Amino acid sequence: MAIDLNALRAAVDAAYAEHHAAVGGANADYIPYLAKVPSELSGIAVVTVDGDIFAAGDKDYPFAIESISKVCTLALALEDVGPQAVQEKIGADPTGLPFNSVIALELHGDKPLSPLVNAGAMATTSVIKASSVEERWTRILDMQSRLAGAKLEMSHDVNQSEQSTNFHNRAIAWLLFSADAMYCDPMEACDVYTRQCSTLVSTVQLATMGATFAGRGVNPVTKESVLTASNTPFLLAEMTMEGMYGSSGDWAYTVGLPAKSGVGGGILAIVPGKMGIAAFSPPLDPVGNSVRGQLMVAAVAKAMGYNLYAA
């Protein structure tokens, strides 16, 4: 069924008007750079699989992609090693624990369970085919750019801020290595993972990534076929299971769309076959999801009647 573009435009404007200044939450502060991003920033964007774009607020502000990068690297891993290897080596289940949990590894026989928590994301980075650290990084940045339909770049400030404070992630990388669950040098995986989190992206670019996932791998802006169509359902399933961390179940229950958040304040939801819905605002709730971002995305989905389980 064709998308009612007038209704979509109205839904985006209404979601922004109602929620862009919602109170509550706090910027992530364990990464020093993120603590300093202005908390009042707020933006929303939708991009359809036909390339229609509707957006409001700080839609072009470049922010750190953070954990949403995990979906891009997973997309590349699915291309490189295929869905079966991803499921066997990394997993497709929720951990039920915070995104940087070490206990999750201990409980699950050192299997990360999900490519969308830090352990599984570093393992995913490690399975990317590359013969050097720079090749691993360049291939991931190139995938991020092709998904977004724009030449994305890493912020040296964000990267510096993360590389000088990411001791917990380094420890997780070594734990994986000790359990034979790391597929390149563990510090290389941690380094490249940290760089991939430091890419800057705008809300419109994020929604374009979402439209590419929604359109079975075809970027609606560049028209490039970025992903193998049969791989996108695996991506969306992983997002449903763990994309919103400890609130993934509540999100599925109340909104019903695959989504992924990042501690930079970004959030991306996918309406399969139709569009990507992205939002950005730095203050996070206790599990690490943008407070305003969740409200804005949920409002658009509700206004348009988009819920996978109600389709």
Cα torsion 267, 270, 276, 277: sign: negative
Asked if 191 interacts with ligand GLN (CB under 6 A), we say no
Asked if 169 interacts with ligand GLN (CB under 6 A), we say yes
For residues 56 and 143, which CB has a smaller minimum distance to ligand GLN in the complex? Answer: 143
Binding mask 115-134 for ligand GLN (x = CB under 6 A): ---x----------------
CA distances from 156 to 32, 33, 95, 153, 196 (A): 13, 11, 31, 9, 11
Asked if 154 interacts with ligand GLN (CB under 6 A), we say no
Quote the least distance from Cβ 184 to ligand GLN, whole Å. 17
Quote the least distance from Cβ 250 to ligand GLN, whole Å. 17
Quote the least distance from Cβ 11 to ligand GLN, whole Å. 27
For residues 276 and 288, which CB has a smaller minimum distance to ligand GLN in the complex? Answer: 288
Asked if 197 interacts with ligand GLN (CB under 6 A), we say yes
Question: Is the Cβ–Cβ distance between 54 and 45 less than 8 Å?
Answer: yes
Asked if 100 interacts with ligand GLN (CB under 6 A), we say yes
Residue 288, phi then psi, degrees to nearest 5: 110, 15
Asked if 105 interacts with ligand GLN (CB under 6 A), we say no
Asked if 67 interacts with ligand GLN (CB under 6 A), we say yes
Quote the least distance from Cβ 40 to ligand GLN, whole Å. 20
For residues 116 and 214, which CB has a smaller minimum distance to ligand GLN in the complex? Answer: 116
Asked if 99 interacts with ligand GLN (CB under 6 A), we say yes
**Closest residue to ligand GLN using C-beta atoms:** 67
Asked if 58 interacts with ligand GLN (CB under 6 A), we say no
Binding mask 254-293 for ligand GLN (x = CB under 6 A): --------xx------------------------x-----
> Which residues in 217-256 contact ligand GLN (CB under 6 A)?
none
Binding site for ligand GLN (CB under 6 A): 66-67, 99-100, 118, 162, 169, 197, 262-263, 288
